[in-house]
């Protein structure tokens, strides 16, 4: 009877996982299309217009130098926007997993530092898995772009009723105020990570020193998730 109850519960969780995943995938694709077809295209047109004005200015004109810096910043912003669109279109399909998606992100980033991704998380809730992945991806991208690190380690796992994701680098660290939640004006990456963590009932901590930064997400697992994690670890152990 316990086994039949477990099978019934797992069937319900699987059905809920599929339904939520399909809804979430549709929404992500809608957002990606909107960003690509309107916002990014408009930014591209704006950059082309600025480039046209810049070309008409004399080479020694201070205004031309200023506009060239604006163009560099705009092109960087456009590239980041395209990265976001690609990330939105990437589906965390069953069998792929969060770790595999993060490895793909690391390879696509062409980072100058070594990146190691270890472990795996098998979360039956598709919406929850997507949020965990988004948090880990943002932490990884921040480390690649801003830490000046030679090595980044991403570790995923679950133990004692809790899932954990850790992104640690050996870079130059970040200001204490930023790590504590006071981001510069116009920057919302860490704030968004904290909001995502709170949304799924998790806790995000950031520890940063001159020797590097460690971002850790801790997420309590439900009893059904604990059973699924035990089964997954048993299967992976052979």
- Position 117 scores a pLDDT of 92
Band (47; pLDDT cuts 50, 70, 90): confident
Q: Which two tokens stand for residue 69?
A: 């810096």
Burial class (CB in 10 A: 0-12, 13-18, 19+), 181: exposed
- Position 41 scores a pLDDT of 77
Q: If residue 41 lies in a helix (H) or strand (E), which one and from where to where?
A: helix 41-55
Give the full edge-to-edge strand order of the sheet including 162-169. Answer: 114-119, 151-159, 162-169, 212-220, 203-209
User: How many Cα atoms occupy the beta-carbon half-sphere of 94 within 13 Å?
Assistant: 11
Instruction: Strands of the chain (E only): list them.
Output: 114-119, 151-159, 162-169, 203-209, 212-220
Q: What residue ranges do the domains of the chain occupy?
A: 1-89, 99-238
Whether 87 shows a pLDDT value over 70: the answer reads no
Domain 99-238 carries which CATH code?
3.30.565.10
- Position 23 scores a pLDDT of 63
Band (124; pLDDT cuts 50, 70, 90): low
Contact assessment for residue 89 and residue 28, using Cβ atoms and an 8 Å cutoff: yes
């Amino acid at each position: 009877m316990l086994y039949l109850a477990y099978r019934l519960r797992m069937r319900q969780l699987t059905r809920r996982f599929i339904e939520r995943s399909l809804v979430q995938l549709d929404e992500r694709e809608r957002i990606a299309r909107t960003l690509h077809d309107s916002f990014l295209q408009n930014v591209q047109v704006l950059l082309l217009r600025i480039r046209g004005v810049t070309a008409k200015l004399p080479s020694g004109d201070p205004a031309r130098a200023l506009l060239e810096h604006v163009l560099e910043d705009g092109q960087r912003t456009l590239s980041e926007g395209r990265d976001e669109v690609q990330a939105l279109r990437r589906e965390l399909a069953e069998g792929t997993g969060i770790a595999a998606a993060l490895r793909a992100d690391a390879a696509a980033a062409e980072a100058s530092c070594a990146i190691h991704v270890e472990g795996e998380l098998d979360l039956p809730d598709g919406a929850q898995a997507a949020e965990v992945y988004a948090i880990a991806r943002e932490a990884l991208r921040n480390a690649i772009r801003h830490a000046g690190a030679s090595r980044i380690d991403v570790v995923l796992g679950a133990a004692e009723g809790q899932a954990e994701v850790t992104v640690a680098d050996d870079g130059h660290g970040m200001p204490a105020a930023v790590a504590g939640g006071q981001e510069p004006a116009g920057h919302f990456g860490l704030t968004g990570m904290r909001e995502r963590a709170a949304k799924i009932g998790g806790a995000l901590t950031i520890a940063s020193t001159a020797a590097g930064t460690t971002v850790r997400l801790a997420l309590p697992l439900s009893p059904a998730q604990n059973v699924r994690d035990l089964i997954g670890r048993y299967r992976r152990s052979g």
